[in-house]
Amino acid sequence: MCTAVSFRRGVSLFGRTLDNDKSFNEEFVATPRSFPLWRGGGEHFAILGMATVKEGLPLYYDGMNERGLCMAGLNFDGNAGYSKPKSGALNIAQYEFLPYILGTCSDVSEAERLIKTVNLTDEPFSPSLPPAPLHWMLSDGKRDIVAECIGGHMRVYENPAGVLTNNPPFESQLLNLANYMSLSPGEGMNTFSEGLDLKPYCCGLGAFGLPGDYSSMSRFVRAAFVRGNYLPAGGEGARTMFGILSSVIVPRGCCRANVGWQTTLYACAMHPDRGEYGYVTGAGQTPVTFSFGSCNGGLFRHSICS
């Protein structure tokens, strides 16, 4: 369970929630240009993001590079399917994919061209870390795209909604929005019957029917509605993103999976214009914010539990 959102109205932002039943020792990680991020990799763009560090290597969940390209991986269990390595192909293991794209691409257009040439492989990071079933959202302040690898075939979609959650595949999520096109941020209109003089009895009736559960399709609709109508106050910056993401935060005890309680472990906001990455781990917290100044030395790590 996760939700990713872009926002462009007076400010360009990208953010996501990471929801799970347990922590994977997530850390904020700033990677300098010289740090090796993938096999055979040389110098690359500096990256700020959230990761689990294994054997000294950051396995990124999301991040932003110094050129302002943002990317997040979200669970896509049951649909994601990767390939075996192929001779002569650009073979990139699933765990290398996000840092490879952020390390080598300046914007969404470059990333889109590169993604279409990648053979995304199912090579595990280690025997205990098989490839994670993911799909990805990318944003650069001008365009948003979604990348999905299904049955070993990479597919790239334009993302006019500026939102990504989990299953089903993105095309189905986008089509589902048509079921809610009558919603509005206004008071609501009487289209029930010309013979009944119905009047709104409170504010918010225009959005009656907006789904409030925590399923991936409902979070997609809710995030798209809030993102499309959100009016930021002047100078809010990253707080705008946290305001939008607050609509899809999963409180502990409200969503039970087979293995435990799903909850939001963190929410982050990336501000490409300022080169800042901020995160919160609970409702009402003051965001912890880092910038690319963190990349001046070696690999910089900061536990989000500290």
Q: Which residues are catalytic?
A: 2
Give residue for tokens 């689990």. Answer: 52
Buried b (16+ CB within 10 A) or exposed e, 171-196: eebbeebeeeeebeeeebeeeeeeee
Contact 267, 229 (CB under 8 A): no
Using DSSP, state whether 73 is helix, strand or coil.
strand
Give the full edge-to-edge strand order of the sheet including 27-31: 153-158, 144-150, 134-139, 70-75, 57-65, 47-54, 27-31, 300-303
Angle formed by the axes of helices 216-229 and 238-245, nearest 10° = 140
C-alpha span between 139 and 152 (Å, rounded): 23
Angle value at C-alpha 146, between 50 and 12, nearest 5 degrees: 65
Contact 137, 112 (CB under 8 A): no
C-alpha span between 162 and 23 (Å, rounded): 27
